[in-house]
Amino acid sequence: MPLWVFDLDSIQLVWANEAACKLWQAKSIEELLSRDLSEDISSSVAERMKKYRDAAKENGQTFRELWTLYPEGKPCPYHIHISGHELPDGRYGLRFEATADFDRMPEQIRSAEALNHIPVCVSLFNMRGKPLYNNPAALETYGDTSLEMRDRFAKKSDHDKFLRNIAKGRTISKICEVNTKDGKRWHEITGMRGFDGLTGQNACIITETDVTELKEKESRVRYLAHYDMLTGLHNRNYVNSHYPERIQSAFEENERLVLMIVGLDHFKAINETLGHPSGDALLKHVASQLEMSLQETEQIARLGGDEFVILAPYRSTTDLDIRCQTILASINEECTVGDHILSANASIGLVLFPEHGRDLPTLLRHCDLALHDAKDSGRNTYRFYRPALQQAALAKRALEKDLVRAVENEEFCLFYQPRVDCQTQEIVSAEALMRWQHPEKGLVFPGDFIGALEDTGLIHRVGDWIADRAGKDQRTIARLGYNIPISINISPKQFERPDFVHRLKCALAKSGCPADKIEIEITESMLMGVGFDAKAILMDLCRAGFSIAVDDFGTGYSNLAYIQDYPISSLKVDRSFVNMIEDQSSVINLILSLCRLIGISAVAEGVETVDQLAWLRMNHCDQYQGYLYSRPVPLDNLIELMTTSHQRLMSSRLPESLDAEVIWA
C-alpha cells in the first residue's frame, strides 16, 4: 500500500515507502524526496491540504478523497486517506495512504473530482444528523467535519423542518441563517434523501450556496422601499403595504382608529429663502419631535414632502383634541440650522375609522381634505373630516373640468367698469373684469372660479387671453375717439412666473395696443414679494410702458411708508373704507394726503351714494368707481356711458356747491 508524508511548507515529500515510490514513478526514494512538487499541485489543492492539516492538528480529524493517479502512465482511481503527521522539527505535515479502486467507473471518478473543486458545500449526514462526509467547500465553510447537522442551523426550527421533510422523502429548499466558522451567514440550502455508499443506509444529502450578499442587498432594497432616507421614518410604500393590515385588524376587533396627516405650514417659503438643505434639516427636526412625542400604540411615517401620517387607536375626540395640541406644540420647538434659528407651524387633518372610511385610500383622501380645511382655516390648527368637505371637493373637480372646456371653447368675456374723474364726471379709464358665460349656469362671476383657475394653472392661459382681449377692446374705443387706458387684474400666480412680463408683452402685441394704454392692477399683498422680487417685476413693467395700480388698498399690510419705494401710478382705496366713510374719514384722508404727497392718483372703490362722492370731491380724491356711476358692463355699454349726455346726468345729481356739509372728520 503506497504511504508517504508530505511537508506543505516546502511542498516536498519527507518520507515514502517503496509502493509510493512506484506509484509516483520515481527511480528511488531519494529521487522522489528531492522532487519539487510545486508545479504539480494547483493552488486550490494546496489550499485544501492546508485546511486538512490545520483540522488534523487541532482535533485529529482525518479525511478521505478519491484521486486519479497515473502509475506507469495509466489513470487509476485511488481512495486516499489523509491524516495529520508530526514532523521531526515539531511542525505538522500530512500522511497519505492510497488504496487502488480498479472497479471505479470513469463517471464516478469525474464526479468525485468535481465534488472536490466546486464552490458549493456538499455534505452527507445520517438520518439523525450525524456527519458522514463533507466536500472541501463544506470543510472550508464550517471548519469542523464533526459538526452535526443541527449545529449548522442558526434556528432550531429550520433544522427540524429540514430533517422532518427529508425523513418523509421530500426535497426541501430554503434560505436559512447558518453558523459558519466566520460567523453567521445566509445559505440557500437544499436537502434530500439519499444513501450512504458505505453502509447502504438512508442518509441526508445537503447542498449549500452562500447568498449572504444577495440577502443583504435584498435587505437594503427592502429598507429603501419602506423607509424614508431623509428622516429614517417609514415611507408611503410602507403605509400602503402595512396600514391596511392594521385597519383590517381594527375592523375585526371592533377597534376605533384615527388617521392624522400633519402638514407643515409655509414650508415652501423656507426652501426658497434658506435653501433645500435648511428645509431638509427642519424636516429631520420635525420628524424627531414627532417620534419623541409618539405614544406606544401609534405608527408614524413620512408621506413625502412636508407631510407626515400617524395611525393610532383612540378613545374619544377629547383625547384627540389634546393629542393634536401636543403635536402642534412639539413641532413649534426651535432648532438651529447653520446661522438660522428655525421653527415650524403645522396643520393637521384627522379622519376616524370606521366613521369616515373603511379602507386606506378612502381614509387618506378624506384626511387630505381635512388637512386642506385646516390650512384654509388659518393654519397652525387641526380639523376633522366632515362629509361637506367631500362634496366641496367633488364640486371643485367638476368646476375644474368645466374650466378646461371653457378655455378651449372661449366661453369667457370681459365686462368693463368705468373709472371716473371725481370733479368732471368724465370717464378716464375702465377696469376689465372677467366673466364666464357658462352654457348652463349663465353668467358666472370671477369669485366663483378664479381660485380654480389658479389651482389648475389655467390662469396663465386665461391671463394671456385677457391681455389680448383688453388690448383689442382698447383699440376699438380708441378708434371711436375715446382713447382711455384699460386696467387688467393680475393673479399672484401669474406674478410668480419668471416669464410673466414677457408673456404679457407678447399677448398685448397681438392686439396692437400700446403698453401705455394698459394699467396692471395688483393686490397690496403682492408687493411683499413672497417667492419673487416684486419691485424688480414692477420696474420691468414700467420700463415696458405699463402703469401700475394697487387694488383694494388698506385690506393688506397697509404700510403707507413703502408705497413710495415702488413705481406705482394709482392707489385704489378699498370699498370697505368708502362704505364706512363717516367712521373711516380720517384713514381715507391719510391715504389721499399720501397720494398727493408722492404724486400718484387716488381712486375710491365701491362708491354707491351721492353723499360718498360729494365727500370724495370735497377731499380731493382724484377718481372713483362704483355702482353710483355704473356697474361692470359689456364693451358696447361702456361706449354708451362715455357719451356727454351720461356725464351731464351724473353731474346733475351732485350738490351744486362743494361747500355742502358732507365731511365727517
pLDDT tens, 541-600? 999 999 999 988 876 555 666 677 889 999 998 888 888 877 767 778 888 888 888 889
CB-count burial class (<10 Å; 0-12, 13-18, 19+) for 639: middle
User: For residue 109, is pLDDT > 60?
Assistant: no
621 pLDDT tier (thresholds 50, 70, 90): very high
435-455 tens-digit pLDDT: 999 998 899 999 888 988 998
pLDDT band at 172 (very low <50, low <70, confident <90, very high): very high
Minimum mean pLDDT range among 86-95, 279-288, 551-560, 624-633:
551-560
Give the per-residue pLDDT at 264: 92
Residue 175 near residue 188 (C-beta atoms within 8 A):
yes
What pLDDT score does 416 carry?
Answer: 97
Average pLDDT of the chain to the nearest whole number: 86
Lowest-confidence range among 298-302, 417-421, 613-617, 651-655?
A: 651-655
Count CA atoms within 13 Å of residue 460 on its CB side. 15
Is the pLDDT reported for residue 2 higher than 60? yes
At residue 665 the predicted structure's pLDDT band, cuts being 50, 70 and 90, is: very low
Asked if the model's pLDDT at residue 67 lies above 70, the reply is yes
How far apart are the C-alpha atoms of 515 and 541, rounded to whole Å?
9
- pLDDT confidence tier of residue 663, bands split at 50, 70 and 90: very low
Pair 66, 101: CB distance under 8 Å = yes
252-291 tens-digit pLDDT: 999 999 999 999 988 888 887 788 888 888 899 899 999 8
User: What is the residue-wise DSSP string for 351-372?
Assistant: EEETTT-SSHHHHHHHHHHHHH
Mean pLDDT of the region 383-387: 92
Share of the chain above pLDDT 70, in %: 92
For 127, phi and psi rounded to 5 degrees? -70, -5
What pLDDT score was predicted for residue 624? Answer: 96
Could you say which DSSP state residue 74 is in?
-
Residue 658 pLDDT > 80, yes or no?
A: no
pLDDT band at residue 116 under the 50/70/90 scheme: low
Assess contact for 235 and 226: CB atoms under 8 A. Answer: yes
Instruction: Sort strands 412-421 and 623-624 into parallel, antiparallel or unpaired.
Output: antiparallel
> Helix or strand or coil: residue 207?
strand
Instruction: Specify the DSSP class assigned to residue 71.
Output: G
Mean pLDDT on 84-107: 81
As a whole number of angstroms, the distance between CA 323 and CA 128 comes to: 59
Cell for 248? 383590517
Q: What is the pLDDT of residue 661?
A: 43
- Is residue 560 within 8 Å of residue 532, measured between CB atoms? no
Sheet with 3-7, edge to edge strand ranges: 12-16, 3-7, 92-100, 76-86, 63-69
Q: How far apart are CA 578 and CA 585, in angstroms?
A: 8
pLDDT in tens, 393-420: 888 888 888 898 988 898 999 999 999 9
- For the stretch 21-64, pLDDT in tens is 888 888 888 888 888 887 777 776 788 788 888 888 888 888 87
CB 370 within 8 A of CB 351: yes
Residue 94, SS3? Answer: strand
Nearest alpha-carbon partner for 78 in 37, 55, 48, 108 = 108
Q: Is 656 exposed, middle or buried (0-12, 13-18, 19+ CB in 10 A)?
A: exposed
What secondary structure, in 3-state letters, does 314-358 show? Answer: CCCHHHHHHHHHHHHHHHCCCEEECCEEECCCEEEEEEEECCCCC
CB 629 within 8 A of CB 650: yes
CA–CA separation, 70 vs 247, rounded Å? 73
Using CA atoms, how far residue 404 sits from 110, 236, 394, 407, 438, in Å, is 76, 31, 16, 5, 12
Tell me what pLDDT residue 71 has.
Answer: 67
Closest among 376, 375, 374, 370 to 357, alpha carbons compared: 370
**Residue 662 confidence (pLDDT):** 43
Bridge partners, residue 262, by sequence = 308, 348
Distance CA 494, CA 454 (A): 9
**pLDDT band at 354, cuts 50/70/90?**
very high
The mean pLDDT of 448-469, rounded to a whole number, is: 91
3-state secondary structure of 571: strand
The owner of cell 486516499 is 80
Joined grid coordinates for residue 232:
429614517
Give me the percent of the chain exceeding a pLDDT of 90. 46
Alpha carbon of 608 to those of 384, 600, 612, 616: distances in Å? 42, 24, 7, 12
Q: Tell me the β-bridge partners of 81.
A: 64, 97
Q: Mean of the pLDDT values across residues 228-239?
A: 90
Which secondary-structure segment (H or E) carries 86?
strand 76-86
Q: DSSP code of 659?
A: T
Candidates 68, 70, 61; CA nearest to 112 is 68
Return the higher-pLDDT residue of 574 and 531.
574
Residue from 180, 189, 185 nearest 140 by CA: 180
What's the whole-number mean pLDDT along residues 609-630? Answer: 92
Cis status of the peptide bond prior to 354, with omega within 30 of 0: yes
Residue 630's pLDDT band (cuts 50, 70, 90)? very high
- Split at pLDDT 50, 70, 90, the class of 476 is very high
Beta bridge partners of 124: 133, 205
pLDDT band at 218; cut points 50, 70, 90:
confident
Please tell me the predicted confidence (pLDDT) of residue 664: 39
